[in-house]
Chain A
Amino acid sequence: MSTQKLEYDAAVGGRVTLPSHVTTYHYAAGALQEIRNLVADCQETTQRSSKLIFQTLPKHMRRRAMSHHPKRLPRKYRQAHKSQMGKGGNQPVSSKRPSRKYRRRPKNLMREYVRRQRRQVWLETHIWHAKRFHMVDRWGHRLAYASCDKTYRACYRASSEHCLLQDISFYCCVELRGSLDLLRKGFDRLTSPQCGVGITARTFLSGRREGSVELFKDGRYPHGGLQRASFMWRPRGTEEDQEEHTLWLWLHPSGAQATLEELISVFQLKSTKQQVLPLKEEEEEQKMEVESEELSKGKQENLSEKSQGKGKLQQENFTKKSSQNNLRFWTQTKALELQPSYSNSENTLRLVALQREFNRFRLTGPRAQRVLLASLRPYQQGELQDQANYCQSALQLSSPAELLSNLVMGHQVVDPRLQRPKKRTKTEGKAPQTLSAGDLLVDQPKSLPESPLWSEEARKRLAQNIMSTHTYDQLRQQHAVVPGAPCAFEQKMQAVPLILVQRPGSQDPRYKRLAYGSGWDVIAPAGYGMALWLTLTMWGARPGGLRELDSVAREAGAEMHLPDTIVGLQQAAAAADEHRVSYFRMPPNKRTNYRRLAVVSPFSAPWKYLVRDWRPPSSSASGSSFYVLRHRQQLEEIAESIRQRRPLPEPLPEEALVQIQLRLVSRGYVKSNALICLPTAVDHMQRWRQIKRVDQAPVYVEPLQPDLNEQLRKDLRQSHKLKLKRLRSGRVREKRKLQETATRRVHIRPANTAHLVHAQLQQMCQLWLPTDPAEMRDSVRRQCSRQVFGYVSSAGFSFTEALVCAVGYVTPAGLQQLVGELPNSRGHQKPPLMCLLRDPDSRDYRWASFQINLNVASPAF
């Protein structure tokens, strides 16, 4: 036995000779060794499992370079092996990317799309945008930021002269149904009458106009701003006299969750995902049958029932059983709710979040009229004839601003795919007017806002009967004899109900061009997004992204999101992070030294501390909160007294910020987070001197402050370098010592100084930036040689004004001081109302004139 060499496998190894006898102690020794190995293996795999998967394989199953290539393992171990190797940081060889042909197969492509949509929601026009736009992750969506082409100025021109098109379908629509009293009471707690007209105002209740309200947390006005929400009421026909009113709220996705929670708590709603319902007699029998079947057939039946009940898993609970009438309850649980719905305990008020039910496209600019007129042809067989007539003549006007502001129009149109030009063209030509603009403005037909989009059944029917683009193309291939000519089957395609909402544009002719930013919002049912989008772009509308939302708002002299709302706070935090990261990415000699420029908070506007510093010392309140003043009457009083250069009405709201619109008088440029400062008497003198000499230099230059941290930073850097060097030399010494005694070559120990380097970076960052304004009182107000009484939140060059314009917020106490310190009037003219602006990256103070924005709560764009 010991002399003969045996193969493992008899079939491979050829002839095997078995010995005639075996020595027992040899056999026992072998068996003992085997048992030992077996026990050791068991212990290792169960207790420590320090072995890798391929190490546990028996010897004859091991292959060369097994750890490198998972395919050399048996299939059942591959997954575990991959995850093990992944944890260790050394990835096994990456599997080759499948070929493009494989990836582009429809099934695989769709699977990939579904996978990519798991984390971020896509809009219907996503793929179109993804090919042409820079996409960003915002608010749980993947949205188009700006075009890959250079279109900044082109988009401005489109919004002022032509037509700018944006997809804002990410706004989430929430439907509320209930009695008017209930709704009014609830919204009284969430809004304030001081901000403007409420949600149940007469002008909106008929459904003729869309309105917008500022929502706050329950009873916490003026603090706790949630967001601005636009809303529209369902128009009430004459025949239905029921008590129920329906309301659509359009919420921004960033604050939508918080707002929904607030609505749920105010109206005392409960989710209808799980409901306990009383079981009726006949239903009960059915249930019993189902149950018995279930018992007999088991899981198969359960599956079929699932498919019947459209994903509703129904379970039966026998909770009560009285002797006479067996009252039973069953719990209904919906496994998947596409549209989460809530209702209150008496079921008098219901809330449904209509997710992904509508597309909302925003058209801005006077030519939006022509684009819409060309792409929307009224559906002839509809019964709403006067509605169609009105829409047609309204769209023939030269500008959308000539109609009633925030007008809501229902419009039944033929499928937008039928209305495309052969080539992308600008719409030209002007149709003759049938009705004068004044008539169109003053009276609308009663049925104008009505639309089938309001009813759930109609929406379902619409979604079912959409002709897919593929079918449409195939039908055209079959039927169209002449290319481009209309076909017979196109007559039978279903009508598409749309809702058009007018936006009036800017309304302060003394500040901005009248009706800049006017246009239409088109609300289309789900599924028609791409069809409508393509038609609109084919008629010459210029597509824009999220950047254009901000730039149009800035051109109109307003802000999309106020800084005390959820959206505003989130945006400011994100922008601050971004600024900070890009600041520290620069080499030290390219970084602006904000300590030397005496700028306390370069990356974000410290509203809290600004308000704290301007609070009178006598006041007892010490809370560090702020809010934007939306109280219309107070704003008007402040604006009036400033206009007459009188002291402001007492008492001043302490924690409030007043929104102002600024414009630089001559030169200079400011970005967001610029400082708004109070001019001194010297500055006013200097102004006259400069006017006399036609001098365009800045009125005052901030002297450079000494940076006390500079030496500290140098020392820290030196000591850090030295420390690292010392550590390394220690390791080298250690290695040498080991090498003396060792026979093999000894390698140096790894450094493991990552934590040291990280701590050093943190400390360095702290030394670079100015001290946090939270630490010291008056650190914001008196940060530089002029007193700071406000901050700019958005700024840029405005093409409408050909000037640098900005929107900022100031404290009322600062305004008070500004008005008090104005120089005496020369002659009969009042002294001009101006303040100083300084960019955080610059030392130059420049003059800026400003005015108070009264329409904070309901901006015009």
Chain B
Amino acid sequence: MMGSNPPEHGTKPRSTRNHRQQNHRVVRKQPPRPAVSDRHNIYITSKTDFKAQQRRCEELLNSGAREIFLHCMGFSVTRGLNLALRLVHNSEGALSYAINTSTIQLVDELHPLCDAEDITFRQRNNSALHIKIFNRSLFDIVVPQPSQSQTQAQSLGQFRGKPKSSRQ
């Protein structure tokens, strides 16, 4: 159902992991919480059209944003990487990237299918990727911080006041 998107190879969603358990229970997933909801933080989904995502990022960068963050989780990690590489490749050396990995804790509800049991929960982890794409300008080199949250906070603080008008 990806429309015009290229086929992706990589992690597939593991739908039939616990086959026996699934017959007794219905899994309900919770949507992951967005860390920061901001124009510069883009959450990659595997459903959105790839071209549309690329255009969105390019427009953001062209409009003067110094750096943007791509967050992707699970199945969409490959797509996020593809997108980041495409952006960097298309920019002819003006952009560069830095990657942080993290693990996100998710809680699933397991709904019973028989009357005698109650609802239970399942903790699981999912791997996530946070890609920072930034302008590699000669004059302001931003050193990627080790901790993701700090970087985000800093970058937000910087950008709220003065968006850069031109791109080199």
B:87-117 near A, CB below 8 Å: 105, 107, 109, 111-117
Task: List the A side residues contacting B112 at CB < 8 Å.
Answer: 197, 201, 203
Pair A509/B105 contact, Cβ less than 8 Å:
no
User: For residue A289, which residues in chain B have a CB less than 8 angstroms away from its CB?
Assistant: none
Residues 77-119 of A contacting B (Cβ, < 8 Å): none
B105 surroundings in chain A (CB, below 8 A): 438
Please tell me if the beta carbons of A203 and B31 are within 8 angstroms of each other in the complex.
no
A713 cross-chain contacts in B, Cβ below 8 A: none
Tell me whether A402 and B121 are in contact in the complex, defined as CB-CB below 8 angstroms, given that A193-B115, A197-B113, A438-B107 are known contacts: no
Compute how far the CA of A736 lies from the CA of B26 in the bound complex, rounded to whole angstroms. Answer: 86
* Nearest residue, chain A, Cβ from B114: A197
> What's the tally of chain B residues with a CB closer than 8 Å to chain A?
26
Say whether A404 contacts B109, CB under 8 Å.
yes
- What are the interface flags for B20-59 relative to A under an 8 Å C-beta threshold, 1 for contact and 0 otherwise? 0001001011110110010000000001000000000000
List of A residues within 8 angstroms of B15 by Cβ:
510
CB distance from B24 to the nearest CB of A (A): 11
Contacts A202-B118, A203-B118, A441-B121 hold; do A632 and B113 have CB atoms under 8 A apart?
yes
A448 adjacent to chain B (CB < 8 Å):
no
Q: Which of A506-542 contact B (CB under 8 A)?
A: 507, 509-510, 513-515
The reply to whether the CB of A331 lies closer than 8 angstroms to some CB of chain B is: no
A314 within 8 A of partner (CB):
no
With contacts A442-B107, A663-B1 taken as known, whether A402 is within 8 angstroms of B116 at the C-beta atoms is no
Quick check: is B146 within 8 A (CB to CB) of the other chain?
A: no
Flag if B115 contacts A442 (CB, 8 Å): no
A196 interface residue (CB < 8 Å to B):
yes
Q: Contact: B115 with A197, CB < 8 Å?
A: yes
For the A-B complex, the count of residue pairs with Cβ-Cβ distances under 8 Å equals 66
Is the C-beta of A398 less than 8 angstroms from some C-beta in chain B?
Answer: yes
Shortest C-beta distance, B100 to chain A (Å), equals 21
Q: Are B1 and A202 in contact (CB under 8 A)?
A: no
B107 to chain A, nearest CB (A): 5
Q: Within residues 190 to 249 of chain A, which ones have a CB less than 8 A from any CB in chain B?
A: 193, 196-198, 200-203, 209
| Bound-state Cα–Cα, A510 to B2, Å | 12
| B161 located at the interface, meaning its Cβ lies under 8 Å from any Cβ of chain A in the complex | no
- Please tell me if B141 contacts chain A, counting CB pairs below 8 Å: no
Q: In the complex, what's the smallest C-beta–C-beta distance from A572 to chain B, in angstroms?
A: 30
Closest to B13 in A: A510
Contact A513 to B28, CB < 8 A, known contacts A202-B116, A203-B119, A437-B33 = no
The minimal Cβ–Cβ distance linking B115 to chain A, given in whole angstroms, is 4
A266-284 vs B, CB cutoff 8 Å, 1 = contact: the mask equals 0000000000000000000
A 60-77 to B, binary, CB cutoff 8 A, 1 in contact else 0: 000000000000000000
DSSP class of B's interface residues: helix, strand, loop or mixed?
loop
**Which residue from chain A places its CB closest to the CB of B108 in the assembled complex?**
A441
A200-B115, A202-B118, A636-B23 in contact; A441/B107 too (CB < 8 A)? yes
Q: Bound complex: CA of A636 vs CA of B113, how far in Å?
A: 13
Contact A398 B29 (CB under 8 A): no
B5 to nearest A CB, angstroms? 13
| Given known A-B contacts A197-B112, A441-B107, A405 and B28 have beta carbons under 8 A apart | yes
Is the CB–CB distance between A398 and B33 below 8 Å?
Answer: yes
Closest chain-A Cβ to B16's Cβ sits at a distance in Å of 10
By the criterion CB–CB under 8 Å, are A514 and B115 in contact?
no
Asked whether any CB of chain B lies closer than 8 Å to the CB of A399, the reply is: yes
Contacts of A504 in B (CB 8 A): 28
A interface secondary structure, majority: loop
Which chain B positions have C-beta within 8 A of A509?
29
Q: Given the known A-B contacts A197-B112, A849-B1, are A401 and B30 also in contact in the complex, defined by CB atoms under 8 Å?
A: yes
Give complex CA distance A422, B33 in Å.
32
The distance in angstroms between the C-alpha atoms of A193 and B37, with both chains bound, is 43
CA A515 to CA B31, docked complex, whole Å: 7
Contact A507 B34 (CB under 8 A): no
B115 touches A202 (CB 8 A): yes
Q: Which residue of B lies closest to A441 (CB)?
A: B107
- A438: chain B residues at CB < 8 Å are 105, 107
B31 and A399 within 8 A (CB): yes
Structural contact, A398 and B34, CB atoms closer than 8 A: yes
Q: Which of B28, B107, B113, B121 has the most CB of A within 10 A?
A: B28
With A438-B105, A441-B107 known to touch, is A196 a contact of B31 (CB < 8 Å)? no
The answer to whether residues A514 and B29 also contact, given A404-B109, A849-B1 and a CB cut-off of 8 A, is yes
Q: Could you tell me the distance between the alpha carbons of A201 and B118 in the complex, rounded to whole angstroms?
A: 8
Q: Contacts A197-B113, A197-B114, A442-B107 known; A507 to B28 CB distance under 8 Å? A: yes
Closest to A209 in B: B119
CA–CA, A513 and B48, complex, Å: 11
Complex: chain B residue closest to A366, CB-CB: B31
B113 touches A196 (CB 8 A): yes
Residues of B within 8 A of A398 (CB): 33-34, 37
A170-188: which residues lie under 8 A (CB-CB) from chain B? none
**Are the CB atoms of B30 and A402 closer together than 8 Å?**
yes
CB neighbours (8 Å) of A515 from chain B are 30-31
A514 to B111 alpha-carbon distance, docked (Å): 17
- Chain B residues closer than 8 Å to A513, beta-carbon distance: 47
Contacting residue for A202 out of B29, B31, B117, CB 8 A: B117
CB under 8 Å from chain B, chain A span 804-861: 849, 855
Minimum CB distance partner of A509 in chain B:
B29
What distance in Å separates the Cβ of B35 from its nearest Cβ neighbour in chain A? 10
Q: Which of A428-456 contact B (CB under 8 A)?
A: 437-438, 441-442
Chain A residues near B23 (CB-CB < 8 A): 636
> In the complex, what residues of B have CB within 8 A of residue A200's CB?
115
CB of B47 within 8 A of CB of A198, answer no
Instruction: Tell me, in angstroms, the Cα distance from A404 to B108 when the chains sit together.
Output: 10
Inter-chain contacts of B118 with A (CB < 8 A):
202-203
| Contact status B29-A507, CB under 8 Å | yes
A402 vs B112: C-alpha distance when bound (angstroms): 19
User: When chains A and B are docked, how far (Å) is the Cα of A663 from the Cα of B13?
Assistant: 21
B117: nearest residue on chain A (CB-CB)? A202
Closest A residue, CB atoms, query B32? A514
Contacts of A401 in B (CB 8 A): 30-31
Contact with B along A631-648 (1 / 0, CB 8 A): 010001000000000000
Residues of the A chain whose Cβ atoms lie less than 8 Å from the Cβ of B13 = 510
Q: Which residue of A lies closest to B15 (CB)?
A: A510
Cβ of B121: which chain A residues have Cβ within 8 Å of it? 441-442
Interface residues of B in 110-133 (CB under 8 A from A): 111-119, 121
Contacts of A441 in B (CB 8 A): 30, 107, 109, 121
Contacts of B115 in A (CB 8 A): 193, 197-198, 200-202
In the bound complex, CA of A734 to CA of B33 (Å): 89
List of A residues within 8 angstroms of B30 by Cβ = 401-402, 437, 441, 515
What CA separation (Å) do A520 and B147 show in the bound complex?
A: 37
Q: Which A-chain residue is minimally distant from B22 (CB atoms)?
A: A636
Tell me the nearest residue of chain B to A202, going by C-beta: B118
Q: With A197-B113, A632-B113 in contact, is A402–B33 under 8 Å at CB? A: yes
- Cα-based distance from A441 to B31 in the complex (angstroms): 12
The chain B residue sitting closest to A849, CB to CB, is: B1
Question: Which A residues touch B117, using CB under 8 A?
Answer: 202-203
B32 to chain A, nearest CB (A): 9
Q: Bound complex: CA of A554 vs CA of B13, how far in Å?
A: 26
Q: How far is the CA of A837 from the CA of B132 in the complex (A)?
A: 45
Report Cα–Cα, A196/B34, bound state, in Å: 33
Complex CA–CA separation, A404 to B121 (angstroms): 10
- Distance of A743 from chain B, by nearest CB (Å): 88
A829 to chain B, nearest CB (A): 10
- What is the CB-to-nearest-CB distance from B55 to chain A, in angstroms, rounded to a whole number? 15
List 11 A-B residue pairs with CB atoms under 8 Å apart, sorted by A's residue number.
A197-B113, A197-B115, A203-B118, A437-B33, A441-B30, A441-B109, A441-B121, A442-B121, A514-B31, A632-B113, A855-B26
Interface of B toward A, CB cutoff 8 Å: 1, 13, 15, 23, 26, 28-31, 33-34, 37, 47, 105, 107, 109, 111-119, 121
Additional 7 contacts, C-beta under 8 A, given A398-B37, A855-B26: A197-B115, A202-B115, A203-B118, A404-B109, A405-B28, A441-B30, A663-B1
Report, nearest first, the 4 A-B pairs whose CB atoms are least far apart: A201-B115, A515-B31, A514-B31, A203-B118
